[in-house]
Amino acid sequence: MASPQPEPRNLFRLWICIAVGVAIYFSPVPNGLTPPAWHIFAVFTATIVSFLLRPLPMGPCVLIGLLVLSATRDLMWASPDRPADLSYFEPVDLESLMDRYVPQLGESDAQATAASPAARDLHADIKLSLAQALSGFADTTTWLVVAAFMISGAMIRSGLGRRVALSMVDRFGRTTLGLGYALGAAELVLAPFVPSNTARGGGVMAPIVNSLSHVLGSRPDPDSPDEGPKRAGEYLVLCGAHANLVTAAMFLTGMAANPLVNKAAADVFGEGVGLSWPQWLLGAAVPGLISLALLPPLLYVLAKPEVGSSAAARQKARADLVEMGPWTSRQIVMGVILLSMLTLWMTAPLQSKAFGFSLHTTLVALLGVAAIVVLGVDSWREVTSNPGAWDALIWLGGLISMANALRETGFTAWFAESVGAHVSGMPPLALAVALAVVYFLSMYAFSMLTGHIMAFAGVFFATALAAGAPPLLMVALIAYFSNLCGCTTNYSTGPVVIYFGLGYVSAPKWFWVGFLVGAMHLAVWLGVGLPYWKLLGWW
């Protein structure tokens, strides 16, 4: 069997990423920055570009970046044990470099290392850089995301997610418009417990939407004109995709990368600035429910289905529930675990008042994973068989290492000061809104919500800090818009790609419907959200 060969276009894209990184790495270091900070920024930028061009999966791209920064010793300057000066970065010629680091002829490696302090420094420095590169893998944010993938997999395998979704359709699906609301309700119930919006939308909801469309006589490639996408499938697909994004915005655990917003906020504004699980939900509850309520009728106008009654779909959902049979012990135990986790997350403030401490969000998630195995919902082999969890561990842990290094080497502070000089005269509230809108629209250039957050969240927070914008308001805007902005394109995030791939909606229609849905989100979350957050004391 022949080994797979890289496609030429992917190699070309990889070379573009390398060229971007090399160009920045060897360009003059701006005033106020150290060479390591600039070099880390160069590799970080090349990594983000790789997310856009996709020459390789995210994990290998991040891993390559970490290896480069370890080999060049740039990451050691982000370590608490870093050297006290920058003598390593004084210019040297090739001959002196060879004398310092290459053993002489006939000299063993051990002799060279023992005789050369510079060689000892080289080995120690690379080890220090590598330790810093791996520091992000110990971050609580990384393990919250890993646990989220494991929990979502258990919920899908137990059948609990499908049962909840079908129950919502059975209860609310009397009309096609009602089906739109049923899909939103199912997403709302599943979102806190299935933190991967791709697993929730693509693994649970999209197959149900496709089945319901078929039941209503709607197919992407019909045998007759009477069975086309406009009969019902187009409308249901748009409802499912856009409801997924709204519910992802409403919960800290609604999308796997949401905790990264809190991480970026803490890095820029300081520890303690961010949204806890109940705060996140409290801030999103009013505008989020309004957006969910407006979505089905808005999409009904933009993609009006030819079928008004969905009695057949309701019957199909009811038949599927009958086929599933009564609740299994796995589903009951899984439901108890999820409700227990939700209770612990929501009662964190009460825990602090009663006991003087509260269980960390990540600790609760890992307790949930342990309970899934101990109580027999899934075996350990099943829990660890989720490739998405380990892929997320690599790319997310690596990105956090890079982001931490940018902060520790002074790049974030330098950027904030530089931007502050250009926006100092703008009213803080107006600046916060303007930044949020720009952040929302910039999603057109991205094919992944996580990459968008990693590229811009910290940058926009630094800009807001420099201009004196209210920190908590800025965190809320970026947190919620990090999910809602996915409505703009058909390639923004995994579930959107899956829904679009069903074939019911053309690309041009997806774009113009997405633009109008985005306008609705901006109107609701700014028009209603801003005064609501004012009442909450966030600005």
Residue 137, C-beta contacts closer than 8 angstroms, at least 6 positions apart:
393, 397, 398, 401
* Per-residue pLDDT at 110: 47
Q: Are residues 191 and 123 in the same domain?
A: no
Other CB atoms within 10 Å distance of the CB of residue 59: 18
Q: Is residue 95 part of a domain?
A: no
Distance CA 403, CA 22 (A): 19
516 is written with which tokens? 């109008």
What tens digit of pLDDT does each residue of 493-531 get? 878 887 887 888 888 899 899 999 999 999 999 999 999
CA-nearest of 249, 476, 253 to 345 is 253
Residues 240 and 342 in one domain: yes
Q: What integer pLDDT is reported at residue 116 of this predicted model?
A: 46
Say yes or no: 115 and 154 in one domain. no
Q: Do 264 and 339 sit in the same domain of this protein? A: yes
pLDDT tens string for the chain (539 positions)?
Answer: 455 566 778 889 999 999 999 999 999 999 888 899 999 999 988 988 887 788 888 889 999 999 999 988 888 877 666 665 555 454 444 454 445 444 444 444 444 444 444 444 677 778 888 888 888 898 877 887 788 778 877 877 888 877 877 787 787 778 889 889 989 998 998 888 776 787 788 767 887 788 778 777 788 876 666 678 888 889 999 999 999 999 999 999 888 889 889 988 998 888 888 898 899 999 999 999 999 999 999 999 999 998 777 777 778 888 888 998 999 999 999 989 988 887 887 777 788 778 888 787 788 889 999 999 999 999 999 999 888 788 878 887 888 888 788 878 888 778 767 766 666 677 888 889 988 998 898 888 676 788 788 878 888 898 888 888 899 999 999 999 999 999 988 878 878 887 887 888 888 899 899 999 999 999 999 999 999 999 999 98
Domain count, the chain: 2
Both 75 and 158 in one domain: the answer is: no
Is 91 part of any domain? no
Residues 67 and 215 in one domain: no
Are 429 and 539 in contact by the 8 Å Cβ rule? The answer is: yes
Residue 401 placed within a domain = no
Same domain for 187 and 119: no
Instruction: Identify whether residues 148 and 280 lie together within a single domain.
Output: yes
Rounded Cα distance between 240 and 183, Å, is 6
User: Considering the domain boundaries, does residue 516 fall inside one?
Assistant: yes
Residues 6+ apart with CB under 8 A from 202: 494, 495, 498, 499
Helix (H) or strand (E) holding 396: helix 387-408
Q: Assess whether 181 and 327 both reside in one domain.
A: yes
Same domain, 74 and 150: no
Structural domain boundaries, residue 20: 8-81+108-133
- Residue 93's pLDDT is 45
pLDDT for the residue numbered 83: 60
Cα Rg of the chain, angstroms: 25
- Which long-range contacts link 397-400 to residues 24+ away (Cβ below 8 Å)? 397/134, 397/136, 397/137, 397/139, 397/142, 398/62, 398/63, 398/65, 398/66, 398/133, 398/136, 398/137, 399/47, 399/62, 399/136, 399/454, 400/136, 400/139, 400/141, 400/142, 400/260, 400/263
Helix H segments across 216-306?
A: 233-250, 258-269, 277-302
Q: What is the pLDDT of residue 207?
A: 74
Q: Is the residue at 166 inside a domain?
A: yes
Tell me: do 127 and 207 sit in the same domain: no
Q: Is residue 400 part of a domain?
A: no
- Tens digit of pLDDT for each residue in 290-345? 999 999 999 999 999 987 777 777 788 888 889 989 999 999 999 899 888 878 87
- The pLDDT, as a whole number, for residue 423 is 64
The vertex-316 CA angle with 311 and 320, nearest 5°, equals: 150
Asked, for residue 93, whether it belongs to a domain, the answer is no
Q: Are residues 367 and 493 in the same domain?
A: yes
The amino acid at residue 316 is K
- For residue 95, the model assigns a pLDDT of 52
Residue 179 CB partners (closer than 8 Å, separation 6+): 169, 172, 173, 212, 236, 239, 310, 313
Backbone angles phi, psi at 477, to 5 degrees: -60, -50
Contacts of 113 (CB under 8 A, 6+ apart): 119, 120, 123
User: Is 387 a domain residue?
Assistant: no
